[in-house]
Amino acid sequence: MLPKIIIHNSISLDGSLTNFIPNMELHYQIAGEYKPDVHLIGSNTITAGIELYENGVPPEETTDFEKPKRDKNLPFWVVIDTKGSLKGLLHTCRRFEFCRDVIVLISEKTPEGYKKHLEERNYSYHIVGQNHIDLKQTLALLRDIYQVSTILTDTGRILGNLLLNQGFVDEISLLVHPVLVGKNAYPMFSDIHENITLKLLKNELLSKGYVWLVYKVEMKQ
């Protein structure tokens, strides 16, 4: 059996992932309740997060070349980066105190220079696909090598929609913000190919007008 996958996202009332200010404290408080073994993240989400929340990228230090020694109950951050776009940026993830360590997923077409970059910094990486990441192979690898049973992804639309379209998602967790984005909305589910039947598991009204919705995926593609 492949690991359980939960999509967890903060969205506006009209379903946008961007162009509003998300409550990240509440977002990660809810994410932590799932106690995932892994956070599965796309490289675009990392770069977007750095642009939004970092005052520039700090230079690497000697400790950034070493695997952190943290609580083994913390989740790994598994980052998909086939093009090597996070070269020189991954240490910002490794420094995050609630990240056990970063594992990078690449393809056979990933530049050799990026592999060397990862090896020099003691990042675990795995080749799981020819041009793009093979998601089924990825899930089996995480299960077999890292004993992963629960994966949470709070990445952007692309990865979430791919996981849904390929039938790998078990639950969808949505932190709905009391805001409308309107014409500038970036709709979360706009790339879903067919209807997916859901069952409501949770409908919780939180403070300041936030609503937490959780759905079970009843019929996968």
22: three-class secondary structure by DSSP: coil
d(CA 21, CA 46): 17
Task: Check pLDDT > 80 for residue 219.
Answer: no
Task: Express as a percent the part of the chain with pLDDT over 90.
Answer: 86
Residue 221: its pLDDT value, please? 47
pTM: 0.91
Question: Where exactly are the structural domains of the chain?
Answer: 1-36+158-221, 38-148
Name the helix (H) or strand (E) containing 160.
helix 157-165
**Cβ of 214: how many Cβ atoms within 10 Å?**
19
CATH class for the domain made up of 1-36+158-221: alpha beta
154: three-class secondary structure by DSSP: coil
Residue 54: its pLDDT value, please? 54
Q: Do domains 1-36+158-221 and 38-148 have the same CATH topology?
A: yes
Q: What is the pLDDT of residues 143-190, one digit of tens each?
A: 999 999 999 998 888 999 999 999 999 999 999 999 999 999 999 999
d(CA 171, CA 184): 27
| Spatial CB neighbours of 21, under 8 Å, sequence gap ≥ 6 | none
Q: Which CATH architecture has domain 38-148?
A: 3-Layer(aba) Sandwich (3.40)
Residue 118: its pLDDT value, please? 98
Q: What is the pLDDT of residues 116-125, one digit of tens each?
A: 999 999 999 9
